[in-house]
Amino acid sequence: MKKLIITIFTAVSMVLCLSGCSSAEQTTSIQSVSVEDIPAYTNSPYVVINENVPDFDLSKKQDSYQIYSELDDLGRTLDAEACLSKDMMPTEERNSISSIHPSGWHSIQDDSIPGGSLYNRCHLIAYQLTGVNDERNLITGTRYLNVEGMLPFEEMVADYIRETDNHVLYRVTPYYEGDNLVASGVFMEAYSLEDKGDGICFHVYCYNVMPSVEIDYKTGDAVIENSNIDTQTQKDYILNIKSKKIHLPECNGVQTMNDKNKKEVHASIDELQQEGYLICSNCIH
């Protein structure tokens, strides 16, 4: 497996990316990528997968369609696939999606984060491509994933369809580690049909991370470095010894906590984090 880190998305790198799809003309089935082949995040929002060749079955006749998998038993959004066309693109402004809470969703605000919010409700297939706001098309994703990782590829596909009126096979697949509620990242694949991948052809993995933020992917909680949280002063906290969370005594989570999981302490956040505890982002921010 060839691993290539792309650090800058420019017109030159875009040409290099697309040229990697010439082999897709002769190949209708590519072996699925192992998550073990994904390099650790190193300051680039995405990495090229499988030498940039997507894993579509090109032997089948392709007409416009869109398919969204049902949520799994943990309420997690799974893959979304479409054969995109110009007539699928919305002509209306997007309605509010604030009532949709994807698995692991937390509203975490901090002035140190660009845009002010850690998480976005990220569309797997961008709204500008199909106009779908369904919960099966939304995941809890960082602003970094949404804007730095996915958006350049979404806009490239949208611009291509508007300019050519061609069809594009498109698939986005979240990757969850174990029972985590928040995806570690997403695989994005695309292939333009009429020109056999000459216009659009890519296979990338975008990291669901945010620089200077430690994310608990199991729950969606997060610790923001260099925030205004006082982590050194000893204070009264309530610990949930089962979930390993630090709460303020007045937190709503304390009221619903099982007494056997509750522990009162007088300590600093730094001390508790050394014991493996994470802050509750709903009350400590």
Residue 155: how many other CB atoms lie within 10 Å = 12
Q: Give, as one character, the DSSP assignment of residue 89.
A: S
Distances 282 to 109, 116, 253, 254 between C-alpha atoms, Å: 10, 15, 9, 11
Where are the chain's structural domains? 4-207, 229-279
What is the token pair recorded at 56? 């579509």
Return the percentage of the chain with pLDDT > 90, whole number: 65
Q: Give, as one character, the DSSP assignment of residue 260.
A: G
Residue 97: how many other CB atoms lie within 10 Å = 17
Checking if the pLDDT of 19 tops 50, the result is no
Convert the pLDDT of each residue in 188-226 to its tens digit.
999 999 999 999 999 999 999 998 899 999 999 998 876
pTM above 0.75, yes or no: no
Fold of 4-207: Extracellular Endonuclease; Chain A (3.40.570)
Burial of 262 (0-12, 13-18, 19+ CB in 10 A): middle
Convert the pLDDT of each residue in 237-274 to its tens digit.
999 998 888 999 998 788 878 899 999 999 999 899 88
Which residues partner with 72 through β-bridges? none
Q: Give, as one character, the DSSP assignment of residue 149.
A: I
